[in-house]
Amino acid sequence: MVELTRKQREIERRTGEILRVAKPILVREGFHALSMDRVAADMEYAKGTIYNHFPHKEEIVLALAVQSMELRRKLFEFSAAFADNSRSRMMAIGVACEFYTHHCQEDFVIEQWMRNHSVWEKSSHQRQNLIRQCEAQCMAIVSGIVRDGVAEGSLLVPAGMTNEEFVFGFWAITFGSQILTASSPSLPALGVHDPTRALRIHCATMLNGFEWRPIMNLSEYLSRSERLASDLMPRLHTLRDQHQQTQV
């Protein structure tokens, strides 16, 4: 029994190693470059062994995506508890998103691959569910903040709109901005020189537009964001490094 678990542990360890080898290939050279032969060669195992762990490379991508989504959830969990009033907590989520975009670029790239239709479709329901769960947990964290805001009386979500639909708008603008920043040929050439700052301004406008108190004017909002970011970011760095330790 003890021996069995030793072997079992050995196998689990190798699963992690496969992911560690596959991640930079996927992130830096793309899905096409990630081949089972290559992973096997890099690890000095036979290809069949890799297939014992993952039935195809799409499953490797989803396994990586599970890690990335878990990191995101951890960042959200931590950030959501970092401030006191609901609006600041929402702003802290914004900081977490900025952190994820700028300092967890690899994970962000992986999330994009995960959202690729052909990758998603081919992978196991089990891992799909893990991702869905993680997504739901992230949503629960943020919509929880909205719920608290409503309960505090500092926010009124429009009639006929769920808290989650309220969150959806912020999710969409953050996510869309990330993708455009990463994939639109040349935002600066289009006149978009500082997408991060622009995003902050738009979020501020939305928060004010929904009258989420305390209302702040723009410069107030921006300086608070800056302060929040410099307080929160070091902690997020630690969190991220811890998370990466766990993956070994």
Please identify, using beta-carbon distances, which residue of 39 and 91 lies nearer to DNA: 39
Residue 104 contacts DNA per CB under 7 A: no
- Residue choice 9, 28, 56, 237 for contact with DNA (CB under 7 A): 56
Q: Which distant-in-sequence residues (6+ apart) come within 8 Å of 238 by Cβ?
A: none
Six token digits for residue 207 = 């928060």
Per rule CB under 7 A, count of chain residues that contact DNA: 23
The residue with tokens 């902050």 is 200
The residue with tokens 């569910």 is 129
175, 177, 155: which is closest to 166 by C-alpha?
A: 155
Residue type, 15: T
Among its own copies, DNA, none, the one that 164 touches (CB under a kind-dependent 5 to 8 A) is its own copies
Neighbours of 79 (CB within 10 A): 27
Scanning 3-11, 13-21, 90-98, 136-144 for contacts with its own copies by CB under 8 A, the matching segment is: 136-144
By CB under 8 A, the residues from 225 to 244 that bind its own copies are: none
By CB under 8 A, the residues from 40 to 99 that bind its own copies are: none
Q: How far apart are CA 91 and CA 172, in angstroms?
A: 15
Residue 118 contacts DNA per CB under 7 A: no
Scanning 8-16, 74-82, 203-211, 230-238 for contacts with its own copies by CB under 8 A, the matching segment is: 203-211
Q: How far apart are CA 170 and CA 55, in angstroms?
A: 36
Do 61 and 123 contact (CB within 8 A), yes or no? yes
End-to-end CA distance of the chain: give it in Å, rounded.
24
Among DNA, its own copies, none, the one that 221 touches (CB under a kind-dependent 5 to 8 A) is none
Angle formed at CA 241 by CA 179 and CA 116, multiple of 5 degrees:
30
Residue 35 contacts DNA per CB under 7 A: yes
Binding mask 2-41 for its own copies (x = CB under 8 A): ----------------------------xxx---------
Residue ranges binding its own copies (CB under 8 A): 30-32, 109, 115-118, 120, 128, 131-132, 135-136, 139, 143, 158, 160-166, 168-169, 171-177, 179-180, 183-187, 189-195, 197-199, 201-202, 205-206, 208-210, 218
